[in-house]
Every structure is written in structure tokens, then in C-alpha cells.
Structure 1
Amino acid sequence: MSILVNKNTKVLVQGITGKIGRAQTKYMLDAGTNIVAGVTPGKEGTKVYGIPVYDTVKEAKENHDIDASVLFVPASIARECVIEAAKNKIKLITLITEHTPVHDVMEMKSYIDKSDSLLIGPTTPGIISPGECKIGILPTNMFTPGSVGVISRSGTLSYEVSAILSDNNIGQSTVVGMGADLVAGTNLIDILKLFNSDKNTKLVVLIGEVGGSQEEDAAEYIKNEMNKPVVAYIAGGSAPDGKRMGHAGAIVEGGKGSAESKISHLTSSGVKVVSFLFEIPEVVKKLLQ
């Protein structure tokens, strides 16, 4: 069992004919992803690996059942492409694009919040349910099917942690990269709720980082609502106040969003917080016993 995507998910690739879109489409197909169509304005009537390409999302929807869209588009047009997908009632939208202007993200998030769509990203590696479906750029060799859900604010750590789990014979139900920008399409609580209701996810590994209040908010949800164990790791513990550490969202202001604050909130909510990534498998095995 998985959340968000599975072997039956019908996927649209926006930006499919670009260099990155074309390459990642091949990797997704190799992972078993059911890609039914692509969109690149001006390329209608062409095909990529046998997949028909359309000028608009509307035309793609008229010809195919589509559950999810993944976007490999320039930051300058990311807003209009996300809104186009939402207007055409695509339920899951995954925006891989980096460096999307924050005001554009705010606009697309405002639109998404009034729709029935869910936006993952921007600056996300994507989503994978190992052995079933991959949407995005996650390297499939680092994942194995299983019952541990992974949710991460850091793209790199999402698959590094999964690789560590896999090396210790601990499989994953679904791995979700949240996206690392200051404004994100969704939040930790949204994904925790999905894992909480998935009967085959037995435990959740949460990878957070300094900056913002998502982990503190998630701690409150875990304390009051979560019925499954949660293991957490917080990256960026050495980040000084006011210093951006790689990610737009990883900024600590006056102690707010610090690693200490997040660890304190999570620990008081019953979450087992580890100091090092290599500790995660041992803790997970103990909690699953």
C-alpha cells in the first residue's frame, strides 16, 4: 500500500520534450510509472518514447484519464503551468523546478488551496512508491518496497535516508520530498495525515531542517492525532541565526525555527529524534518490534 501514487496512477509530464523532461521521462518509465501523455506548447503530434505530446493540459485531459502531473518547466513559467494543471482538475501536481520566484509560488499556492489539487514542491525531488510508481527525479536504486513512510524537507536526504533504510532491509511504502523553498505547496501535516490513514504504513520517518515552523506544527499534530510511531532527524543544527544554509526555507531568525526548538517540540510529542542518520534503522527496528 502507498500514499499519493501507485502502479495505477496515470501521469502527465509537463515539459516532456525538454532535455531534462525527456531524460527523466525515460527514468520514470523504467521505474514502472504509467505515463500516458506529455505537454509542450508547439510540440503537439510528436511523441516521446511512444508517449503522445499535446500543446495544452486541456487537450491531454480530453484524450486521457490523468491522475497526476509532474512539471519539468522553467521557473519563469512554473506558476502558469501549475495553475493550468489545477484548472484542469489534476489531483496531484509535482513541481520539480528550482528557483521559482516566491511571489509566483504564493500565487499558485493560493489557487491550489481553493481547488481540489495537491501541490508538492517546488524544488522537490518528487514522490516514489518503490516498485510501483516514481514521479520526479528520485534514484530508484536507493529504495525498496516496505511499510515505512518517509517525508523529507530535504531532497537529498529523502533518498539518502531511504538508502540507509534499504541497506538495513527496511522498505518504504512511499517517500515524499516536500520541497525546500520558503513557501511550499503543502506541509508536513498534510503528508503525515495521509500516512496516518494508510493501513500498511507502520511507521513514519520525518526528515526536517532548520527554518520555519513546520516541524513544530507537525509535533502538535503528532501529539494529538498520530496513531503511528514517528522517528525524526533535524538537519542544519549548526546554522547561525539569519544565515541561509543552502535552502530558501532554511533560515533561523532569532531562535525561531532552530534545531533546538524543533527537537524539543518533537521530543515532547513522543517522537524519537536521532542525532545522526545512521541511527535511524536501529530505532525503526525497535519501534516496529
Structure 2
Amino acid sequence: MAILIDRNTRVLTQGITGKTGMFHTRLCREYAFGNECFVGGVTPGKGGQNFEGVPIFDSVAEARRETGANASVIYVPPPYAAAAIDEAVEAGIELVICITEGIPVRDMIQTRYRMRGKSTLLVGPNCPGVITPGQLKIGIMPGHIHQPGPIGVVSRSGTLTYEAVGQLRELGLGQSSCVGIGGDPVNGMKHLEVMQRFNDDPATEAVIMVGEIGGSDEEICARWIKEHMTKPVVGFIAGMTAPPGKRMGHAGAIISGGQGTAQEKLATMEECGIKITRNPAEMGRTLQALLRG
């Protein structure tokens, strides 16, 4: 079992002929069953060509029709990335993972508005992607640090996703799925939506949840966990020393009006039964201790 993606997912790369798209498509195809899963690419004006045997199409609709793809990963430059999401949604792609960083907020607001009533799931933008270890990775995460196992990971930070996974690996704990939801203020799936899927996934026994300052998504998820989660959760919030009003790395990581601080988030998480750590180097050991009871 896995959430979101597995070896049966069929993937398109939007922006496959760009430097980043080519590089990461190659690495994803080299990981586990990626060679079977990546079935096409999209670059307008370059239809009929191919990238290392992967056929290229002019549009997502054509690519989906010809390949049966149900997922798309986007490496399109920021000015055009929101339009690339729109195109994938209109073509009926079930899962869209947007890696692109720096998409204008106004563009994403319009895209999220257009997605209302649509069935497409969006991960990102400004995210590392999704991986089900041993089956398929879609994104930019280093595949070699992941190993199959029972721990789910959901994070706003790509770097801290890798940190959590690296710690789990050192302790002999593999992952069921890892989802980097991205750090932009307007994005797709939130912690809550991913956590609900981990709760329903029989292959997931526990979850590491990594958040950041800014917004209230972590608190919303924590309250749901208190009422519904049947599996242990470890939580960490990045940005303990961030000053109010200063953006820290991610566009969504900003304390506004005294709200969205790491202290507030951690307090809410702890009140809701989540085992928190204030030290990012202790995420793995905190989870291990929790599993041992």
C-alpha cells in the first residue's frame, strides 16, 4: 500500500526539455520502477520528439490521451508554471506535483480558484515532490536515502524531509510514503489531507509531521489528529527564532500579526497529543522512542 503514488502510477513531465526537467526525469526513471512509470513529456512546439525514449507531446491533453497518464510533474519556469497546472487540471490529470519555486502568488490564487470543483489533487508548488520508497519517486528528493517501511513523512520543508528520512534510515526505520507539500502561502494539499491518507493507509504505522512558521495549517491538522488519528505522530516546527514580519526562506514562512509562531504551533500540537521535539536532530529518535512506548 502507498498514498498518492505507487509502481502503477503513470507520469508525465511538463517542461521535460528544460535542463531541470531533463535532469530530474532521468533520475526518477533510474529509481525503482520509474522507467515503467514515466510515460511521456510535454513541451509545446516539440511534439513528436523524445527524451531518451520518452515521447514528447505538445499538450497535456494529447499526452494523457496517448499514454494513459494519471499524474504530472511540473518543472516549468515560474511565469508559466501556474498555467501548466491549469492545463493539467483541465486535461483531467488526477495528481499534479509542481516543483517550481517562485510562482507569483496572484497566479496561484487564480489557479486555486479554477481548481474549485475539480477532482485533481495538487502537491506544491515549491516542493520536493512525493516518493513511495522502493516503488516510485516523482520530484527532486535523493532516492538513495529512502527505504521502504512503515513511517509516513509529511513536511512543508524539502530539506527537513530529507533530514527526517536520513534519521529514520540510521535507525533502521523505512518509510511508507513521503510527501513534501511545499512552503508557498497558496498551495495544494495541506498537512491535514496528507495525514488523513496516512491514517487510512494500512502500511503506515506512525507519522513525522514537519511544519514551519506562518499560517495555521499545522494547528488545523493537529486538532483533527486529536479527534481522529489512530496512529502516533511526531511533530517539529521550523522557525523557532524567526522575528515577526520577516520571511524565512519559504514565501509562506512569515509570522503575521503575532500569529503563526513556532511556539504557538508546538503548543497546539502538544495539547492535541502529538509528541513534539524542538530539536530537528531528534525527529527520528523521538519517533523511535514513541514506538517503543
State the Cα deviation string for residues 150-204 of structure 1 (Å, max 9, x = none).
0001111111111111111110111110111111112111111111110110001
Asked whether 1:114 is paired with 2:156, we answer: no
Among candidates 123, 129, 135, match of residue 126 of structure 1: 129
Using the TM superposition, give the Cα deviation of residue 142 of structure 1 relative to its aligned residue in structure 2, in angstroms: 1.5
**Which residue in the other structure is 1:27 paired with?**
27
Q: Structure 2 length normalisation: TM-score? A: 0.96
- Distance in 2 between residues matched to 1:242 and 1:288, nearest whole Å: 38
> Pairwise mapping of residues 1-289 of structure 1 onto structure 2 (< 5 A)?
1-31=1-31, 32-33=33-34, 34-289=37-292
State the Cα deviation string for residues 244-276 of structure 1 (Å, max 9, x = none).
111111101232000111011000000000121
Contact 1:130 1:145 in 2 (8 A): yes
- Distance in 2 between residues matched to 1:254 and 1:85, nearest whole Å: 36
Contact 1:142 1:160 in 2 (8 A): no
- Distance in 1 between residues matched to 2:121 and 2:149, nearest whole Å: 24
Q: Which runs of 5+ in 1 are unaligned?
A: none
- Distance in 1 between residues matched to 2:86 and 2:117, nearest whole Å: 11
The alignment yields a C-alpha RMSD, in angstroms, of 1.0
- Structure 2: which amino acid aligns with 1:156? T
**4+ residue segments displaced more than 6 Å:** none
**Could you say what secondary structure the match of 1:148 adopts?**
strand
- Distance in 1 between residues matched to 2:236 and 2:259, nearest whole Å: 18
- Distance in 2 between residues matched to 1:48 and 1:185, nearest whole Å: 29
- Distance in 2 between residues matched to 1:281 and 1:62, nearest whole Å: 43
State the Cα deviation string for residues 201-228 of structure 1 (Å, max 9, x = none).
0001000111111111111111111111
- Structure 2: which amino acid aligns with 1:27? L
- Distance in 1 between residues matched to 2:249 and 2:22, nearest whole Å: 27
- Distance in 2 between residues matched to 1:176 and 1:118, nearest whole Å: 13
State the Cα deviation string for residues 108-144 of structure 1 (Å, max 9, x = none).
1122232000111110010011110000101111211
Contact 1:154 1:207 in 2 (8 A): yes
- Distance in 2 between residues matched to 1:188 and 1:82, nearest whole Å: 20
Q: Which runs of 5+ in 2 are unaligned?
A: none
Q: Structure 1 length normalisation: TM-score? A: 0.98
Using the TM superposition, give the Cα deviation of residue 278 of structure 1 relative to its aligned residue in structure 2, in angstroms: 2.5
- Structure 2: which amino acid aligns with 1:42? G
- Distance in 2 between residues matched to 1:156 and 1:130, nearest whole Å: 17
After alignment, is 63-72 or 107-116 more displaced? 107-116
- Distance in 2 between residues matched to 1:151 and 1:8, nearest whole Å: 22
Percent identity reads 44
